[in-house]
Amino acid sequence: MEKTLKQNIRKNNLICSINDHFQKYKTLYTSLILSLFIIFIWNKYGKIIMEYCFHKKNITSKVKIIDKNTEVADSIQEIHKILSQM
C-alpha cells in the first residue's frame, strides 16, 4: 500500500513538474514553433513569393514603357526640327 502511494506521489510530482516547466517556458516553445513554421513556409513557398513580388516581367514592361516614351519624345523632336526648318 505504501509502495503504491509513494509511486502515485512520484507520478503526481513528475506531472506537476512537467506542467510547471511548460507553463514557465510556454512563450519560448510557442515562439520556436512559430519560427519553425515560418521557416518551413519560406523554404517551401519563398521562391514563389519572391517571383510574385519582384517578377521580371513587371520590370521589363516598365522598361518597355520608358523606351516607348523616349521613342515618342525623339519623334516629336524630329518633327519639331523639320517644321522649324520650313
DSSP of 38-85: HHHHHHHHHHHHHHHHT-HHHHHHHHHHHHHHHHHHHHHHHHHHHHHH
- Is pLDDT above 80 for 44? yes
Residue type at 24 in one-letter notation: K
Question: Which triple of cell numbers denotes residue 23?
Answer: 507553463
Q: Average pLDDT over the chain, rounded to whole?
A: 76
Please state, in angstroms and rounded to a whole number, the distance separating the CA atoms of residues 75 and 69. 10
Distance CA 10, CA 20 (A): 15
Instruction: Name the residue type at position 71.
Output: E
Residue 17 pLDDT exceeds 70: yes
pTM of the full structure: 0.43
